[in-house]
Chain A
């Protein structure tokens, strides 16, 4: 996966340069019959984007009867288990990597490796192929992804004379200056746990590298390993400095935003979806900027989190040919350019021939993922680790952030969970 990703990112970089006139998808044949689509894009903007995309597909195939059902994003996570087994749609949204595993191993997702053999997809979607692969087969196609990194208050950095750090030493030195100015370095809301998972992802990938992180995710390394402890030791440096806002265990990630908007904290390790919230809260692009999580262990290849949202064909679907045509349409360069632009999802297109919308943060994210993430691209803590391990571990991570002295106890507990889960 490692070398494949490198190659694919190189390919992505070159094709992005040539992306001027990507050939439109050749949908010569008109489809007929039915197509039943289940979506979890229940938030207003993604919902409108998806509905518009389906309408365009429907225009291309006037004889096709498309039935779309949008299910609340959270409810979808439990309902998918029901509708995949009985009364399947033809297309359903989900997430990449380990989140697919339960459905792949239960035989509920259709193997779509044939799509991935097609020239268009094979060359243009190579960067996400690893995330869609289980047991050497591909089980769906991605439709969008987004970068993670440190979003910070540019104006406060300027005021304090700070620069974007690239090493751990600089990061800590910056943080000390920020603390001395009476602010906190990082805001975080860990009530729903996953935000702490993001910190662990980055600290572990920077301390021990992408490959080690994935070994840990696959359960091949004990949690009590010294390398894991090294990651926590780095984390503890920040905690002991008082770098994180107080009482973060009581806030959701949205409730932690005001600390940064009010300038009480200067940075937030988050996904790109936070940009919309920052802008809505009144921060301008002059006040807000982005940098890649700095290197910790020297010489280690940088790796990034880029969670990918996906489309799948349930194994029990009735109109699989129509579904395949729809998947081809979703990942086509033009459609990818359109649905990921700033007016729609505001994220990164998965097709290397698509163009990225001209947005400060999308450009930086695209740049970072295509040229400065040689180590690999991870999905996210709760998508790379099996669900049960992730649930226990994220609780432990939150506990560590509040009571760092409990580390031994936490690691022993996680180790016993690891031995049961894998």
Chain B
């Protein structure tokens, strides 16, 4: 066959590698920048922290491998214990923002003249910086000129120094944190209430549901997505409670208002700190606590998606 010697003028064009795998590859290409930065700034540092927590390092000289000694020290460190308990207190009491936010949202969910203004006033604390919130509350609690003691004086109660008393200080700071957090939950619930189906309310009303029963059986189930988001942001907010503590008490008096994140900062990065390994060990513990919640959030979101 002579034909075979003639070069084929129209060979079946081999598609490029990309063209052949376009469907599979494209999502990864779009994800690549995100994955890259997420890995460099989040995933890798997590493992670096794990690694660093096994060393004694002052940030300047040579890092010395000491195994689990940092964790052993944590077990007997009373300041760590105090911080851990304070974290638990934050997680428990910060959640009060959810019912409080719901209550205010229900209260504001009506049509009155100027309701927008009232809503914005209630939302205001969430807009201002945490630093300002901390300062305002520090003045409010101030034992010499604070409004709190003046108000307590009116009803004949003695002056108290909330931020100077190791038993009260954490609750005092949580109360300050609840102010903006309640506003946040309120706005989430207000949007949720907009989406409540009026027909269901109507049906409930025909069946004689009123007041609390209406709220519990008809409204709240429809607000479930909002409640979930409120829960997520409140838990995250509680675990991130750093700025308020730094502004209001600087961890004091004598370290009784520290939480893990603040203690980690003090040990690793503050003026007298620079025990990087020990700070990393605290960070690992904090990470493990967060991991419980993160796992729960991911699991419920995953379940939600499968449901639809």
- Say yes or no: B61 contacts A105, CB within 8 Å: yes
User: Which chain A residues (72-91) contact chain B, with CB distance < 8 Å?
Assistant: 74, 77-78, 81, 85
Distance in angstroms between the alpha carbons of A398 and B254 in the assembled complex: 6
> Which chain B residues lie closer than 8 Å to A388 at the CB level?
272-273, 275
- Say yes or no: B253 contacts A249, CB within 8 Å: yes
Distance in angstroms between the alpha carbons of A387 and B60 in the assembled complex: 14
Distance in angstroms between the alpha carbons of A81 and B276 in the assembled complex: 13
Q: Is A193 among interface residues, defined by CB-CB distance under 8 A?
A: yes
Contact with A387, one of B144, B255, B271 (Cβ below 8 angstroms): B271
Given A247-B161, A387-B272, does the pair A103, B250 have CB atoms closer than 8 Å? no
- Say yes or no: A398 contacts B274, CB within 8 Å: no
User: Which chain A residues (385-402) contact chain B, with CB distance < 8 Å?
Assistant: 387-388, 390-391, 395-396, 398-399, 402
> Which chain B residues lie closer than 8 Å to A77 at the CB level?
271
Distance in angstroms between the alpha carbons of A247 and B144 in the assembled complex: 9
Across the A-B interface, how many residue pairs have beta carbons closer than 8 Å?
67
Q: Is B20 among interface residues, defined by CB-CB distance under 8 A?
A: no
Question: What's the least CB distance linking B221 to chain A, in Å?
Answer: 46
> Which chain A residues lie closer than 8 Å to B164 at the CB level?
247, 249-250, 402
Contact with A250, one of B61, B143, B275 (Cβ below 8 angstroms): B143
Q: How many residues in B have their beta carbons less than 8 Å from beta carbons of A?
A: 26
Q: How many residues in A have their beta carbons less than 8 Å from beta carbons of B?
A: 28
Q: Is B163 among interface residues, defined by CB-CB distance under 8 A?
A: yes
Q: Is A52 among interface residues, defined by CB-CB distance under 8 A?
A: no
Contact with A108, one of B60, B269, B273, B274 (Cβ below 8 angstroms): B60
- Say yes or no: A103 contacts B60, CB within 8 Å: yes
> Which chain A residues lie closer than 8 Å to B141 at the CB level?
250
Give per-residue flags for A109-123: 1 if the beta carbon is below 8 A from chain B beta carbons, else 0. 000000000000000
- Say yes or no: B78 contacts A81, CB within 8 Å: no
> Which chain A residues lie closer than 8 Å to B45 at the CB level?
none
Specify which of A77, A246, A247 lies most central, judged by the most chain B CB atoms within 10 Å of its CB. Answer: A247
Distance in angstroms between the alpha carbons of A192 and B164 in the assembled complex: 12
- Say yes or no: A250 contacts B274, CB within 8 Å: no
> Which chain B residues lie closer than 8 Å to A74 at the CB level?
271
- Say yes or no: B252 contacts A191, CB within 8 Å: yes
In chain B, what residue has the closest Cβ to A382?
B272
Question: What's the least CB distance linking B43 to chain A, in Å?
Answer: 24
Distance in angstroms between the alpha carbons of A399 and B253 in the assembled complex: 7
Q: Is A102 among interface residues, defined by CB-CB distance under 8 A?
A: yes
- Say yes or no: A391 contacts B272, CB within 8 Å: yes
Question: What's the least CB distance linking B73 to chain A, in Å?
Answer: 8
13 contacts between A and B (CB under 8 A): A74-B271, A81-B274, A106-B61, A191-B249, A192-B250, A249-B161, A249-B164, A249-B253, A249-B254, A250-B163, A382-B272, A398-B252, A398-B253
What is A's interface to B at a CB cutoff of 8 Å? Answer: 74, 77-78, 81, 85, 102-103, 105-106, 108, 191-193, 246-247, 249-250, 382, 387-388, 390-391, 395-396, 398-399, 402, 413
Q: A191-B253, A382-B272 are in contact. List 11 more A-B contacts (CB 8 A).
A: A81-B59, A81-B274, A193-B252, A247-B143, A250-B143, A250-B163, A387-B273, A390-B272, A391-B272, A398-B254, A399-B253
